[in-house]
Chain A
Amino acid sequence: MSETNFDSNPACTVHRVRETSKFAQWINRLGVYVVVAALLIIGMAVAPTKFLSLENIRNTLQSVSLMGMVAVGMSFVVYSANFADLSAPMIIAFSGMITISSIRMGFVPAFVIGVLSGTLLGAISGFVIGKLRAHPVIWTMAYNFVLSGIVRWIYMGSQIYPDVIAPDSAAVDTFYNLSRASIPIGDFSLSWMTVVMLAMIVLGQLILKRTKFGNQLKVVGSNYEAARLSGINVTGVIITVFMIAAFCFAVTGVFFASISKMGAYYNGEGYDFRAVTAVLLGGMTLMGGKGDMIGTFGGALVMGMLTNIMNLIGVSTFEQYMVLGVAFLIIVWITTISDRKLGKS
């Protein structure tokens, strides 16, 4: 949206184009997909046969599906200028555990209960941040702490297994298959997880760019006071944002529990910061109201492809942390600079 503004304002263009390089504009327009393309080239150079094989593409997509789902939820929070929802790990763990605990009722009711309870947890965050205006990072961190205490206290810090809770039940098999089944497309097949992630990204993009709520969210994210004074129900918008985010985390939680075949308080550990990384790589800024879901998908892809390429080369897991951190800082830095040069921030 800001790009069209930039183009349609001739005074601005004439003034700025002279002093900014074409390169900066270019980078800004394409965003994270420049990095995706670069990684594609690097990958093809490193392992020409392996990298573009259907199997590898499928695996890369699958490896980012869980993080992609979390990132979709996180995108809404970042877009609304509320920094990040750091209670993601415990919502992931909690919804997974609730689903497993209620698996005896059958698969569908358990799934619905798990996702609903996770979403409700998000509504509490939304109320405290939207209505009472708590600092989002501080509150969600504190909330994560409380939830972790509650979950550990309820289950006394132990793991729970669906086949122990409901032995010889068809629901358990369905639950296990949830993350293992795949949909064949020609001679190619996509796992359900990937499909759900892609659906979430498309839906998220539609909500952000094509609905009334999305437009309101953009105003709230860009300038909270302006949104409030122009009559937008800011509290409602922020509560909805946190509920959407928690919904995405909860769905992730059910899939995570299905993959690991158990529920434990440490299930979602690390997903908060990794999802924020993906979102920020995708071109959103902490100031809100900028970027879109396609970018977030690109961010998740970059993280998956980086890991994939480093695995193909044989870089150890520990060195991957460092490469990821440095790449993240550099990419965000370049984005910031190009934004500044183009006068967008």
Chain B
Amino acid sequence: MDGKRKLNIPRLVNEYRVYLILVLMLLIGTQARRYFTVLNIKSILDSTVLFTMIGSGFTLCMICGHMDLSVGLMANLGAIFAVGLHTLQGLPWAASIAVALLAAAAAGVVNGILVTKGKIHSFIVTLGMQFVLRGIVYIYCGAGEIGVSGDYALGDWLNHQLGGFPLTPKFLITLSVGAVLALILWKTRFGRNVYVTGGNRDTAWLGGVNTTATTIGAFAISGVVSALGGILFAIAQSSAAPNLGEKGISPLMVALAATVIGGTSTYGGKGSVWKTFVAVIALMAMNSALNIIYRKIEIQILANGLILAAVVLYETIVAYFAGKKAGARAQLLLERKRQIAEPSPR
């Protein structure tokens, strides 16, 4: 990090790779018939709703230096509660959605408290939380699907097309949530605290950052945002299933792929929710193109996995050679990464 940094093309390419990948996917799209129609672009953007929200939550926690494996189940929880409370208990939409979001926030806060106060690794906590949330979801819905019976007004409103644009309200809602999250991370004190905490928790604490509150906040926001994704997805589909969105690919996988492709550091302290958002759009654009060309879900899954693996390998190999170049400092670098990766006593 020298002061007089020149234009470094490889670094720039790496930093903005997610846009590059998006352009690449659109280039694949030129090979598909009727790809650049309003209808197809609308369906691509619509399919991102669930994954962008889960990915944003996952990214936020990862920037904070933690891994939130429970995001997929949070989305499930939100979906089941919002649709179920409205249909089965007869609450108005506003109330049922509020309850669902609150439930997810509470689960997120529990995650955060166990991580910070209980000093258990976030991997373990969210692993356990997965079981608990799955239990709650299945108990509430009795393993069956909950359909919105008769009341399709909100779902139709979420799905209707705005003018001649390929946009729907549900996509605009997720877009604005993503933008707000990105702004919070860039501009507010909380956002800076998240980055600092993820970078090095001890330093952050010594520098006067309330790391406990920051971490709990990150987990709570992650829960709420993921639940919102699940709610929008379920209401727009008019039904909530306990294995929401798991048709072939688990949402967690897509969230992870988007986070890594978007350039978020797996050790924390670096990354961007916005790039995760763009990465999800890129993945969905690719899926749509492959779907038109091959009509096989297997090829989509393979392509998704290959891109994720390629990006992980690329990052690893770059780090490997950078470490070799740095020589003796490489071990310091690794040691630092390990310290961040492991929970330390404050």
Residues of chain A having any CB pair with chain B under 8 Å: 83-84, 128, 131-135, 137-139, 141-150, 152-153, 156-157, 224-225, 228-229, 273, 276-277, 280, 285-287, 316-326, 328-329, 332-333, 336, 340
Contacts and interface: CB of A to CB of B under 8 A. Distances in A.
Number of contact residues on B: which range applies?
Answer: 35 or more
Interface stretch (B205-213, B226-234, B308-316): B308-316
- Most chain B Cβ neighbours within 10 Å, of A144, A148, A326: A148
Contacts of A320: 135
B331 A228 contact: yes
B266 A145 contact: no
B266 A325 contact: no
The 3 closest A-B pairs by CB, nearest first: A322-B135, A325-B131, A149-B302
Interface string B330-344: 010011001001100
B309 A332 contact: no
Interface string B299-312: 10111111011001
Nearest to B323: A133
Given A142-B256, A145-B309, A149-B301, A333 B120 contact: yes
Given A148-B301, A321-B134, A336-B119, A133 B320 contact: yes
B136 interface: yes
B143 A318 contact: yes
B24 interface: no
A318 B138 CA distance: 6
A325 B304 contact: no
B335 A135 contact: no
Contacts of B136: 322
Contacts of B129: 325, 329
Nearest to A280: B124
A273 B253 CA distance: 14
A173 to B, nearest CB: 32
A145 B130 contact: no
B100 to A, nearest CB: 18
A159 to B, nearest CB: 14
B303 A149 contact: yes
A133 B316 contact: yes
Interface in B255-269: 256-257, 260, 266-267
Contacts of A276: 127
B121 A225 contact: no
10 contacts: A131-B320, A137-B67, A146-B305, A149-B303, A273-B127, A322-B134, A324-B135, A329-B125, A332-B120, A340-B119
A120 B204 CA distance: 43
Contact of B335 (A152, A225, A280, A321): A225
A143 B309 contact: yes
B302 A134 contact: no
A134 B132 contact: no
B116 to A, nearest CB: 13
B127 A286 contact: no
A101 B306 CA distance: 24
Given A142-B305, A149-B301, A340-B119, A321 B131 contact: yes
Contact of A138 (B132, B260, B319): B260
A228 B331 CA distance: 10
B118 interface: yes
B308 A146 contact: yes
Nearest to A277: B127
B172 interface: no
Contacts of A277: 127-128, 131
B139 interface: yes
Contacts of B306: 146, 149
A275 B222 CA distance: 26
Contacts of A333: 114, 118, 120
A325 B308 contact: no
A132 B320 contact: yes
A149 B131 contact: no
B164 to A, nearest CB: 37
A113 to B, nearest CB: 23
A329 B123 contact: no
B297 interface: yes
A141 B128 contact: no
A324 B133 CA distance: 11
B55 to A, nearest CB: 14
Contacts of B15: none
Given A320-B135, A325-B128, A145 B334 contact: no
Contact of A329 (B114, B135, B142): B114
B151 interface: no
A152 B294 CA distance: 14
B145 interface: no
B317 interface: yes
A7 B282 CA distance: 58
Nearest to A330: B128
Nearest to A129: B316
Contact of B121 (A144, A157, A286, A328): A286
